[in-house]
Structure 1
Amino acid sequence: MDIHKKFFSKIGFNYLILGIITLIFQIIILNIINLTNPQYLTDINIISIVSTICNYILPFPIFYWLMKKISSTKLEKTGIGIKTFILYLGITITLMWIGNLIGLAITSLLSSTMQSDITNPVQELINSADIWFNLIIISLLAPIFEEILFRKLLIDRTIKYGAKVSIILSAVIFALFHGNLNQFFYALLMGGFFAYVYIKTGRIIYTIILHSIINLMGSVVSLFVANSVNNLMSVFNSLDFAILITYIMILLLFLIIGIYGLTKLEKARFNGQKTEIALKNPFRTMFLNYGMICLTAFYIIMMIRQTLG
């Protein structure tokens, strides 16, 4: 195995360790709860908090230590104006919808083939958990940790191979980390775009804010809109109608902005970012190594397990 394959293999094994220790922490803590206060296992909010602690807070120091052992490169920092940020937000929302449609189409096809529903565990969590949990955990903490884990710590170490390599790797690992088929496609598209924004600006705060807004829309705003739709189905209410129309108009506006923005992305250049190491066979070097193969196999098993229930 050449030096570059070994590099990406190490990256793969680091993220595999992240996935495994996350699972181990979940098993340990849930078993402790089961032995001490088993009634808490029926509380979706407590289970969700445990999941957050196990997914982000507990594994983070270990993963950070592993990644710090790999040399990194500082990205050149560039600010963006409000117009560019709105453009980026429109692109993010557009990619989210495209990814959601692809995911729904594939899961619907699989559901009909298997003759059983493939559920979205995250959507079930959002619908069941307390609104404050959705606001604090899903809309604030998750974006912060995920952008550091899958953008900053990864891209700072892979940017020497070029922007395209970093974007693809960040997108794939981020999508795999979600561990279910429903989220894979929009996480893949948005993860790639967040990587693009981070490389373009060198500032992780922009991707954190974009990520937070998207999660806020999916976990908090969507619940208010869904509640308004349910109310309108029983009796007409001017407030609920206004909420629904406003949401649709804003969404359409951002979709138009996003489609326009996507047509301009191919002309973009990464200021100050030069490829130090050009790979002859990027796909083979990045993914056909022991670490990435094991990482991919681990999350495919997780997806199959979740799909089959």
Structure 2
Amino acid sequence: MKQRSILGRVAVPLLIYYGISLVITMFASAIVAGLKMPQYLNGQVEYAQMVTEMTNEILKYTTIITGVTAIVAIPIFWWMFHKDNRIRRQMGMAEPAKASPVKYVWIVILGVAACVALNNILTLSNLAMISSYEETGANFYKVNIVAQIICLGILTPIAEELAFRGLIFKRLREVMNMKRAILISALIFGIYHGNLVQAVYGGVLGALLSYAYEKYGSIKAPILAHMVLNLTSVILSEIGGFSWMFEQPMRMGIATVACAAISATMYVMIQRIGQGEADQTSSEQQ
């Protein structure tokens, strides 16, 4: 019974997110169809051409659709998140200790470094050459930089962190240890992103973000990290930063190794959060 209950509680946020995305996409499709249909009815275009044009038009606004989906989802997930926290308090569950605001600097540095390192590693592995990933990436970057920053850099991280860390990971954490909860939530987050490259990227980041949530004791930590990751990707793509790194193998190698080392260092710093307080508490009790 308990297992079935947790499966349902984990599935609900996913179904809500998928449902909202589907409705928004259908609404956008209806608008595009309304604009294209007169051309077909007047014999100006063939049916197949109309469908192709509609599909391309919808894909062009993938980022906007993603942003609108997040706008609708955020208040729903925020309410669910606070409801879960209220229930935990009523059940007498201890609230996690909050990390010092100063330590959020580590999250920012980790976000920038991890973004560069993972993107470069995926590119070097040739996984990024998979057509489905290239098409998805191209669709996200078809709108202007302001829309990318708002939709991909701000709105989407908030919605996804509330859903995947604030709800799914936290609910898993109620019934299992940290490692299992991180692994399962990371797998769900990776699979949610669809294609193989984003699944790998999302899985790794999902694990890091869940761990950050666990150590910082606040949903603000994974939200901030996710924002930094996405904004770094958006900005570097816009200014040609990734292309610049890959112009020279030496430059790319140095950047990748350096960012991987910085990421590892920040991970160790985050890992130590709470250890000093725990040791101090233990010594006081003795």
Please report the TM-score for the alignment, with normalisation by the length of structure 1. Answer: 0.64
| Conserved 8 A contact 1:91-1:257 | no
Partner in structure 2 of residue 21 of structure 1:
19
Letter in 2 for 1:218: S
Partner in structure 1 of residue 151 of structure 2:
137
Unaligned runs of 5+ in 2: 37-52, 279-286
Partner in structure 1 of residue 28 of structure 2:
30
What are the Cα deviations for residues 45-73 of structure 1, in whole angstroms up to 9, with x where unaligned?
A: 6443123323x233456666777886545
Letter in 1 for 2:224: I
Q: 1:220 to 1:171 in 2, by over 3 A?
A: same
Distance in 2 (alpha carbons) for counterparts of 1:45 and 1:74: 46
Partner in structure 1 of residue 121 of structure 2:
101
Partner in structure 1 of residue 240 of structure 2:
225
Q: Alpha-carbon deviation of 1:269?
A: 6.5
Partner in structure 1 of residue 9 of structure 2:
11
Partner in structure 2 of residue 148 of structure 1:
162
Q: 1:252 to 1:223 in 2, by over 3 A?
A: farther
| Conserved 8 A contact 2:77-2:162 | no
Partner in structure 1 of residue 106 of structure 2:
86
Letter in 2 for 1:136: I
Query: Relative contact order, CA 8 A, sep 6+: which one is greater?
Result: 1
Distance in 2 (alpha carbons) for counterparts of 1:135 and 1:20: 22
Question: Number of paired residues?
Answer: 251
Letter in 2 for 1:152: G
Partner in structure 1 of residue 137 of structure 2:
123
Distance in 1 (alpha carbons) for counterparts of 2:219 and 2:103: 18
Q: 1:119 to 1:157 in 2, by over 3 A?
A: closer
Partner in structure 1 of residue 218 of structure 2:
203
Quick one: which of 154, 167, 171 aligns to 2:182?
Answer: 167
| Conserved 8 A contact 2:13-2:167 | no
Query: Which structure would you say has the larger Rg?
Result: 2
Alignment root-mean-square deviation, CA? 4.1
SS at match of 1:167: helix
Q: Alpha-carbon deviation of 1:267?
A: 6.8
Q: 1:23 to 1:95 in 2, by over 3 A?
A: closer
Unaligned runs of 5+ in 1: 112-116, 234-244, 273-309
Quick one: which of 53, 61, 69 aligns to 2:68?
Answer: 53
Answer yes or no: is 1:177 the counterpart of 2:182. Answer: no
Partner in structure 2 of residue 296 of structure 1:
none
| Conserved 8 A contact 1:96-1:190 | no
